[in-house]
Amino acid sequence: MRLFIAPIALASLMAGCSAPEALAADAQQQARTITVNGEGTASAVPDMAVLNIGVQSDAPTAADALRANSSNMSATIKKLKDLGIADHDIQTSGLSLNPRYNYEKNRSKPEVIGFTASNTVTVRLRDLSKAGTVIDQAVQSGANSLNGISFAFDEPKPLYNEARKNAVADAKAKAELLTDAAGVRLGRLITIQDGYVQSPSPKMYGARLEMAADSAVPMEAGESSITASISMVYEIE
C-alpha cells in the first residue's frame, strides 16, 4: 500500500516546520531598544602639582652655551632636592642645543650668531604649599623658563569611580526621560560600555622668567574635575 500526500498538505507541513524560525526572526525584528550616552564629573581639591622648569642659555659657541646651561641646571636640580623633592619626582623632559641665526643680511643663507642650549625638568610636587617657593628658589638658582604647570591627584582612582557612577546615573535619567516623553516603558538594561575619562588639563604658560624674584610666587590650586562618559542600551517594553 502506497502513502500519498497531496501537494497542498505537503506545503502546509513544510511551512509548519519552519514556523519557529519565522517567529524568532519576526520577534528579533520587532525588538526595540534605546541607546543613551551619559556624562559624569567628580571634583576635588588637587593634592599634587606638576611643573616644567627649564634653563635656557645663550652663548657665542655651542660649547659655551651647553656649559653655562649645565651649570645652571645642576644648581637648579640641587636646590629642588634641598627643598625636599625626591629624586624620583624630578625627571629630565627636554634637552636641546640649537644655533641662532641672523636673517637680516641674507635670508637664503643666514649667519650663525650664536647657540642656545635648553634643558627642562618635570617636577612632581606633592606639597602644594611649597609650589610658589619652589618656583622662586628655582629661579634664584638659575632656572629662567616655566613651560607649563598642571594640578593633579596623587591617587585619582576614587574620583574616576565617582565620575563613572555619575555618568551611569546621567544615562539612566536620560533613558527614563526619553521613554516617558515617547509614551513607552523602559525595559531591562541590555549593554553598558565604558567611554573616555578626561583628567584635568595642564595650564601652559611658556614664559621666560626673569631671575629677580625675592618672594614666593602666588599659587592657587583651586578645584579640578575628572569627567567620564558611558554608553548604555535599554530594551523598550
pLDDT tens profile 19-72: 555 544 455 455 799 999 999 999 998 889 899 999 999 999 999 999 999 999
Q: What are phi and psi of 11, to 5 degrees?
A: -65, -40
In a domain, 74, yes or no: yes
Q: List for the chain the helix, strand, coil content (%; round to 5).
A: 35, 40, 25
Cell numbers that stand for 200 in this block: 584635568
Give the number of other Cβ atoms within 10 Å of residue 136's Cβ: 17
Residue 211 is predicted with a pLDDT of: 40
Q: Please indicate, yes or no, if residue 57 is contained in any of the structural domains.
A: yes
Confidence category of residue 203, pLDDT binned at 50, 70, 90: very low
Q: What is the CATH number of the domain that holds 69?
A: 3.30.70.2970
More confident residue, 63 or 5: 63
Largest CA distance in the chain: 117
Considering only residues 149 and 206, tell me which one the structure prediction assigns the higher pLDDT. 149
Q: Residue 57 phi/psi, 5° resolution?
A: -130, 130
pLDDT at 148: 75
d(CA 134, CA 129): 10
Segments of 25-67 assigned E as strands: 33-44, 48-59
> Which pLDDT does position 190 carry in this prediction?
95
Q: Is the pLDDT of residue 177 over 70?
A: yes
Q: Is residue 169 pLDDT above 80, yes or no? A: yes
What is the C-alpha separation between 42 and 31, in angstroms, rounded?
36
pLDDT for residue 188 is more than 80:
yes
Q: Indicate the pLDDT class of residue 146, thresholds 50, 70 and 90.
A: confident
8 Å CB contact between 197 and 226: yes
**pLDDT at residue 122 in the model:** 95
Into how many domains does the chain fold? Answer: 1
Residue 141 inside a domain? The answer is yes
- pLDDT tens for residues 100-122? 999 887 778 889 999 999 999 99
% of the chain residues with pLDDT over 70: 78
Outline where the chain has alpha helix (H). Answer: 7-17, 19-30, 62-82, 131-141, 157-182
Q: Which residue has the cell 524568532?
A: 24
Q: Is residue 203 part of a domain?
A: no
> Residues 214-228: what's their mean pLDDT?
74
Residue 69 lies in a domain: yes
Give per-residue burial for 142-160: e unless 16+ CB within 10 Å, then b. bbbbbbbbbbbbeebeebe
Lowest mean pLDDT, pick from 98-102, 147-151, 152-156: 147-151
Residue the block writes with cell 539612566: 172
Q: Is residue 92 part of a domain?
A: yes
Looking at residue 19, what is its pLDDT?
54
Q: Is residue 161 part of a domain?
A: no
18 occurs within a structural domain:
no
Average pLDDT over residues 117-143: 92
Residue with cell 531598544: 33
Residue-range definition of the domain harbouring residue 114: 46-154
Is the CB of residue 46 less than 8 Å from the CB of residue 124? no
**Mean local confidence (pLDDT), 142-167:** 90
Whole-number average pLDDT of the chain: 83
| Residue 96 reports pLDDT greater than 70 | yes
